[in-house]
Amino acid sequence: MPSLIDIRRRIRSVRNTQQITKAMKMVSAAKLRRAQDQVLSARPYSALLRKVLANLAAAVGGDDSASSNPLLARRPENRVLLLLFTSDTGLAGAFNTNLIKAAQKFLEEHSNAETEIEAIGRKGRDFFRKRGARLAAEHIGVLGKPRFEYGAGIARNAIERFRSGEIDAVYVLNNEFKSMVAQRLAISRLLPVELPEHAEIVDYIFEQPPNEMLESVLPRFVETEVYRSMLETAAAYHAARMMAMDAATTNAGKVIDTLTLYMNRVRQASITKEIIEVVSGAAASEE
């Protein structure tokens, strides 16, 4: 049976851990508020850009010059690039584990192709580097404060490789922020761009030829999608971490209660034993 000193030491250790997890929860809650505001601000822009793209696609119609745009070119997917978004740090439950499992499944499904991974986040980079996967590039520390310039740089590099024929398709794998307690695993094809077909078409009067506008809008659309994926992943991570730290704080409280109850029982048993010894000694001396 452990001594009272050992139990008190363990209670003190668990209480210190509880204070740390509670502080981490508060930090994640503050960061989540900013990340959530950024996501909600970026979504309308992305949706409007999709709508403009749909109207441009309808305007160009069967224009051969538009259909020959290199970002729309469909080729057999012999060389594939996967943009994998994970966090740089852990303590967020199954956030990174789910992303890594989805990436492994993607690699299995594309086993006949030469698949490369561009890791945005330390956790994904470390996991696949240890297992000898082909890493095209890595970006560490960019999700702490997502910036459009960095997302656009990643997108431009993918666009350049796609234009040159170095890769045949680009996919994005990330977690989308839905609510404080829910994130959705999302995988989508970024290149070649799939023009929306079914949309409410607006009869615009274009100042430039629609095919020229389409050529300039497509790269911007790809850049926006990469940046939005960064924002979604950052917000989803802070939400997952906040929930994980909240659960850890609650569990620490339960452990403290259990240890305190056990300590009281041990102390009571010790006091009872001492009383019995005193009474037994007194009775023996009287005899």
User: What was the pLDDT predicted at 203?
Assistant: 65
Q: Report the range of poorest mean pLDDT among 26-30, 41-45, 65-69, 104-108.
A: 65-69
- Digit-coded pLDDT (tens) for 151-163: 999 999 999 999 9
Q: Please answer whether residues 95 and 237 qualify as being in contact, where contact means their C-beta atoms are separated by less than 8 angstroms.
A: yes
Structure tokens at 66: 């538009």
Q: Is 262 exposed, middle or buried (0-12, 13-18, 19+ CB in 10 A)?
A: middle
Measured between alpha carbons, how far is 111 from 68 in angstroms, rounded to an integer? 29
Give the type of residue at 73: A
Cα separation of 52 and 107, whole Å?
Answer: 33
Model pLDDT for residues 116-156, shown as the tens digit of each residue: 999 999 999 999 999 888 999 899 988 888 889 999 999 99
Given pLDDT bands bounded at 50, 70 and 90, which one contains residue 200? low
Q: Which residue has the higher pLDDT, 7 or 158?
A: 158
Concatenate the DSSP letters of all residues of the chain into one string: ---HHHHHHHHHHHHHHHHHHHHHHHHHHHHHHHHHHHHHHHHHHHHHHHHHHHHHHHHHTT-HHHHT-GGG-----SEEEEEEE--SS--STTHHHHHHHHHHHHHHHTTTSEEEEEEESHHHHHHHHHTT--EEEEE-S-SSS--HHHHHHHHHHHHHHHHTTS-SEEEEEEEEEEETTEEEEEEEEEES-----S--------SS-HHHHHHHHHHHHHHHHHHHHHHHHHHHHHHHHHHHHHHHHHHHHHHHHHHHHHHHHHHHHHHHHHHHHHHHHHHHHH-
The answer to whether the beta carbons of residues 192 and 162 sit under 8 Å apart is: yes
The CATH number of the domain covering residues in 23-244: 3.40.1380.10
Rounded to a whole number of angstroms, the CA Rg of the chain reads 29
pLDDT of residue 197: 63
Percentage of the chain exceeding pLDDT 70: 89
pTM for this prediction: 0.84
The residue type of 266 is V
pLDDT of residue 199: 53
Note the pLDDT of residue 273.
75
| Residue 88 CB partners (closer than 8 Å, separation 6+) | 121, 122, 123, 140, 141, 143, 144
User: What does the pLDDT read at residue 192?
Assistant: 87
Average pLDDT over residues 231-258: 92
Single-letter code of the amino acid located at 21: T
